[in-house]
Amino acid sequence: MPFGESGADFAQEGRAVTAPTAGQRLAVAVDAPQHSGLDRPLDYLSEQALAPGTLVRVPFGKREVLGVVWDTGADAPAESMALRGIVEHFGALPPLPAAWRSLVEFAAGYYQRGVGELALAVLPAALRDLDAAALERRLKRLRKKIAPPAAPAPAEQASLRPLTEAQSAALDALRAQAAAEPPGVSLLHGVTGSGKTEVYLREAQRVLDGGRQALVLVPEINLTPQLEARFAERFPNRRIVSLHSGLTPAQRLAHWLQALLGEADLVLGTRMAVFAPLPRLGLIVVDEEHDASYKQQDGARYSARDLAVLRGRLERAPVILGSATPSLETWHNALPIADGGAGRYRRLVLAGRVGGGGLPRVRLLDMNQVPREQQRASALAPALMQAIAERIARGEQSLLLLNRRGYSPVLHCLDCSWKSGCPHCSAWRVFHKGDRTLRCHHCGFTERVPRACPDCGNADIQPLGRGTERLEEQLAQALPGARVARLDADTTRHAGALAAGLARVHAGEVDVLVGTQMVAKGHDFRRVTLVAAVQPDAALFSSDFRAPERLFALLLQAAGRAGRDAAHAAASEMWVQTWHPQHALFAALDRHDSEAYAHSQLAERRQAGLPPYAHLALLRADARTQEAARAWLDAAAALGSEAAAAAGVVLYPSVPTPMQRVADVERAQLLIECAARPPLQRFLAGWLPQLQGLKTPRVMRWAIDVDPLAI
């Protein structure tokens, strides 16, 4: 359907008036928080019959707000005369599809939010500021701006390069899967550089050729501009829109409208895009499905990966979860029941790299063997520095991963015990040498570096530990003439800086790239032959049970940036500087064996009764004092203890969160655990509304996090 016509079908000439005397009764979802008593859709009257999914403006208290017609009643009975009328409806837009409403309804129930709260949170914010007339004007402008796409060229297919055998096999399986009823979920488990993206592209092609829409989710779109470019290049005659938080409100609205109107063929976006309304949805891809950024960390704390799977089921669309290092949840789901798994997904394997190059050789550098003075003098052991110098001499690139930005994580006084703490958080303030500041990475509190120790006046205050800024400086000193670049949140603050930095690496204008995890993900670097993890040990002993899983994924991803050009693969290496070279995680890394590592981790999780063998939720409380937060959680636990016991749900004692104080707010949490999901869900649904009645300190906030990623 050409763009120019699509809106017109839905236009209604009349507008509903504010106070109808009779009419249709509508349940309208509006933004009202869970457990406010108004968290179910509210009843209104409309003179005109409106379909569920229609966007409306309704009076709410003293305001007029955006709402979504959720249900429609029969003709309004007499007593409903007291109901307020809607203000108007957005007749120029088609109603949001039923599957969209089902998705929101499920997500609200599962993550314990109000339906309206979630529905409105996932609609573009710009919609709230528009009335129906303004929206119509927007649509007109949009239609003018966007020329109808040229007909897809049939020649596209011809110029494609041949698939590898593994890619063909995976595609055959995916096609069989897509034709099945229901199509189900496939895990595309492909080592780094195995050509997963090509598989997504071919599947997207099939779906677009069939007149359907494709939804492709990526962890962080800004980190991988290359991926967007690849889709644009492959489908020059298709309309591709993106949805992510980097867009202006107007852009986001325009892209969302094109998705809803069926005008966008392919939506490429971050987690929020899982809620993009797509009337012709035919495929969902979740790239790097293990990535933690699929979990929303505030408001409705949903997992876009999990919702993508649900959405596929609701809309009978095949779902592809792609990763070189699948999450343990996904592993479990992809493991046959006979092998102790859940047998829900089908696993497709791309075992080798495109072009037949091998994966980089892993070299564990035992830091215990490095003399003290050398450790103090440089972040990199001499052998590693030497290896980098050799790369430079050969015209190859090296990539150094250090997950800490700034110059040093803390400053300290050599005389007294002063350290650069944050007065507002339980954290150190990081020394940034570039602008000579101490900055808190949690609350943002920033000050000039003091000239002398604030406690004892000693002028000798020194950086302790190393961040990316310091590593960059040391490399520049140790490798005179080398072109060293750094990519982290500090150097990429300005729009376009990251893309420009990556472009320089791709163009071969950089010899050594230093960066945080943003350099490890997804990039198809062609000249990198050495990757080094400078200081990965901290995660080995974290209190968070998921930390090793995340570290393993990060290191394997990082290793995957080396030797992607088969010509250089044989000489490519992944160095790891560690104090614990015997650790099982490194042994698995050494063999690039994500399968064995996943199995051993799953066995540990099973024994410890942790996800995916148990289901968790976290109740969090923020208050002025730790006592107040804990007292509230304890009262909440007391309220729920009987029902919990009856349901087989365990309520653990309240504890301070690992980062206890942020911006002068004390934080505590209470872990909730159950062996099965449904009783946990039922318990939460019964318990949380009761918490509304608890006596709450004046300054306090609480929130529930279902399937928390970090505990």
Ligand X SMILES: Nc1ncnc2c1ncn2[C@@H]1O[C@H](COP(=O)(O)OP(=O)(O)OP(=O)(O)O)[C@@H](O)[C@H]1O
Looking at beta carbons only, is 24 or 325 nearer to ligand X? 325
If we measure between CA atoms, which residue out of 222, 173, 191 comes closest to residue 323?
191
Under rule CB under 5 A, residue 424 binds Zn ion: yes
| CA–CA gap between residue 262 and residue 687 (Å, rounded) | 41
308 to 327, contacts with ligand X by CB under 6 A?
324
Under rule CB under 5 A, residue 425 binds Zn ion: yes
Q: How far is the CB of 662 from Zn ion (least distance, A)?
A: 7
Can you tell me which of 106, 445, 613, 652 binds Zn ion, judged by CB under 5 A?
A: 445
Q: How far is the CB of 533 from Zn ion (least distance, A)?
A: 28
Say if CB 49 and CB 24 are below 8 A apart: yes
Which one of the spans 160-168, 541-549, 583-591, 691-699 is the region binding ligand X (CB under 6 A)?
A: 160-168
Residue listed under structure tokens 């998921």: 546
Helix axes 225-234, 196-209, angle to 10 degrees: 40
Can you tell me which of 167, 213, 258, 654 binds ligand X, judged by CB under 6 A?
A: 167
The one-letter amino acid code at 74 reads: A
| CA–CA gap between residue 617 and residue 373 (Å, rounded) | 47
337 to 366, contacts with ligand X by CB under 6 A?
354
Residues 521-560, mask of contacts with ligand X (x by CB under 6 A): -x-x-----------------------------------x
CA angle 80, 83, 84 (to 5 degrees): 150
| CA–CA gap between residue 362 and residue 519 (Å, rounded) | 18
Which one of the spans 4-12, 325-333, 422-430, 496-504 is the region binding Zn ion (CB under 5 A)?
A: 422-430
Say if CB 627 and CB 354 are below 8 A apart: no
Which one of the spans 82-90, 195-203, 205-213, 454-462 is the region binding ligand X (CB under 6 A)?
A: 195-203
Q: How buried is residue 656: exposed, middle or buried, by Cβ count under 10 Å (0-12/13-18/19+)? A: middle
Looking at beta carbons only, is 181 or 233 nearer to ligand X? 233
Looking at beta carbons only, is 216 or 616 nearer to ligand X? 216
Say if CB 60 and CB 43 are below 8 A apart: no
| CA–CA gap between residue 704 and residue 24 (Å, rounded) | 36
Say if CB 1 and CB 10 are below 8 A apart: no
Residue 192 contact partner, candidates Zn ion, ligand X, none, CB within 5 to 8 A by sort of partner: ligand X
Which one of the spans 32-40, 50-58, 187-195, 610-618 is the region binding ligand X (CB under 6 A)?
A: 187-195
Residue 405 contact partner, candidates Zn ion, ligand X, none, CB within 5 to 8 A by sort of partner: none
Can you tell me which of 195, 326, 501, 611 binds ligand X, judged by CB under 6 A?
A: 195
Q: How far is the CB of 608 from ligand X (least distance, A)?
A: 30
Under rule CB under 6 A, residue 177 binds ligand X: no
Can you tell me which of 260, 284, 388, 443 binds Zn ion, judged by CB under 5 A?
A: 443
Give the torsion sign (CA, 687, 692, 696, 700). positive
Say if CB 107 and CB 92 are below 8 A apart: no
Ligand-binding annotation for 413, yes or no, is yes
If we measure between CA atoms, which residue out of 286, 260, 97, 106 comes closest to residue 186?
286
End-to-end CA gap in the chain = 49
Residue spans of beta strands (DSSP E) within 11-107: 24-29, 42-46, 55-60, 63-75, 88-89
Q: How far is the CB of 202 from ligand X (least distance, A)?
A: 10
Q: How far is the CB of 205 from ligand X (least distance, A)?
A: 14
| CA–CA gap between residue 558 and residue 547 (Å, rounded) | 16
| CA–CA gap between residue 288 and residue 308 (Å, rounded) | 13
The alpha carbon of residue 8 and the mean position of all alpha carbons in its chain are separated, in whole angstroms, by 36
If we measure between CA atoms, which residue out of 78, 89, 17 comes closest to residue 53?
89
Can you tell me which of 6, 24, 46, 164 binds ligand X, judged by CB under 6 A?
A: 164
Under rule CB under 6 A, residue 612 binds ligand X: no
Can you tell me which of 197, 420, 516, 669 binds ligand X, judged by CB under 6 A?
A: 197
558 to 577, contacts with ligand X by CB under 6 A?
560
Residue 445 contact partner, candidates Zn ion, ligand X, none, CB within 5 to 8 A by sort of partner: Zn ion
Residue spans of beta strands (DSSP E) within 484-572: 484-487, 512-515, 528-533
Under rule CB under 6 A, residue 190 binds ligand X: yes
Looking at beta carbons only, is 226 or 660 nearer to ligand X? 226
Q: How far is the CB of 711 from Zn ion (least distance, A)?
A: 22
Ligand-binding annotation for 674, yes or no, is no
Q: How far is the CB of 425 from Zn ion (least distance, A)?
A: 3
626 to 685, contacts with ligand X by CB under 6 A?
none
If we measure between CA atoms, which residue out of 298, 284, 313, 252 comes closest to residue 103?
313
Which one of the spans 321-329, 371-379, 425-433, 464-472 is the region binding Zn ion (CB under 5 A)?
A: 425-433
| CA–CA gap between residue 628 and residue 623 (Å, rounded) | 6
The one-letter amino acid code at 398 reads: S
Annotated binding-site residue numbers for Zn(2+)? 413, 416, 422, 425, 440, 443, 453, 456
* Residues binding ligand X (CB under 6 A): 161, 163-164, 167, 190, 192-198, 324, 354, 522, 524, 560
* Residues binding Zn ion (CB under 5 A): 422, 424-425, 440, 442-443, 445
